[in-house]
Amino acid sequence: MQAGPYGNLPEVPPADRTVCVLAVSPYEEDHACLRMIFSHSNWRIFRARDCREAIQFASENRVAVVISERDLPDGNWKRLLELLSALPAPPLLIVTARDADDSLWAEVLNLGAYDVLSKPLDRAEVTRIISLAWLHWKEELDRARRRPMTRAVSGEAASLTATA
C-alpha cells in the first residue's frame, strides 16, 4: 500500500504505472486544472473538446479513463458513454459537473459510468478517483486476457474426463 496523500492505494508495478486519461470539456479552465493536477505524476493527460474529438482519440489510442464534463457541445456524458462502450477495452467514464448531486451520481452509476467529480476539482479527490478507476480498468483488462486461456484449459479437462 502507498502512504501519503494517496493512502490505501495498492502498489502497482513500475511498468504499469502510466495512466492514460482523456479529459473532455469545452472549458479551457478544466483542462488547465487537470494539467496542474497531473503535472507531478507519470500520468498522461490528453484533451478533447467534444464527443467527436473524444471518440476519435479513444478509438486511435489506448485510454483507461475518460473525464468528461456533463454537457458537451455535441452531446453529453450519456452519448459519450454510449460511444466509448463500443470500443474494445472501453475506458471508464468519470463525469464532472459544477452542480453534481445525488441524482446525477445515481444516474451515472446506473447507466454504467464509473463516478462523478464535483467542480471545482479537488486534487486529492481527482487523484483518488482516477487511481481507483484505472486500477479497476486494468483488472478488467487482465481478467479479459485470462478468459480465453481459462476456457481452453476447461475444455481440455472436459474432453479428458469424457474419454476416461
pLDDT in tens, 100-133: 999 999 999 999 999 999 999 999 999 999 999 9
| Set of cell numbers at residue 117 | 467529480
Task: Report the SS3 class of residue 40.
Answer: coil
What does the alpha-carbon distance between residue 78 and residue 120 come to, in Å, rounded to a whole number?
21
What does the alpha-carbon distance between residue 145 and residue 116 come to, in Å, rounded to a whole number?
28
Q: Region 122-146: what's the mean pLDDT?
A: 93
Q: Is the pLDDT of residue 142 over 60?
A: yes
Task: Kindly list the domain boundaries of the chain, sorted by start residue.
Answer: 14-163
Share in percent of the chain as helix, strand, coil (round to 5)? 50, 20, 30
| Confidence (pTM) | 0.80
| Set of cell numbers at residue 28 | 479551457
| Set of cell numbers at residue 3 | 502512504
pLDDT at 24: 98
Q: Is the pLDDT of residue 153 over 80?
A: no
Q: Which long-range contacts (CB under 8 A, 24 or more apart) does 5-14 make?
A: 5/124, 5/127, 6/127, 6/128, 6/131, 9/128, 9/131, 9/132, 9/135, 10/135, 12/135
What is the CATH topology of the domain spanning 14-163? Rossmann fold (3.40.50)
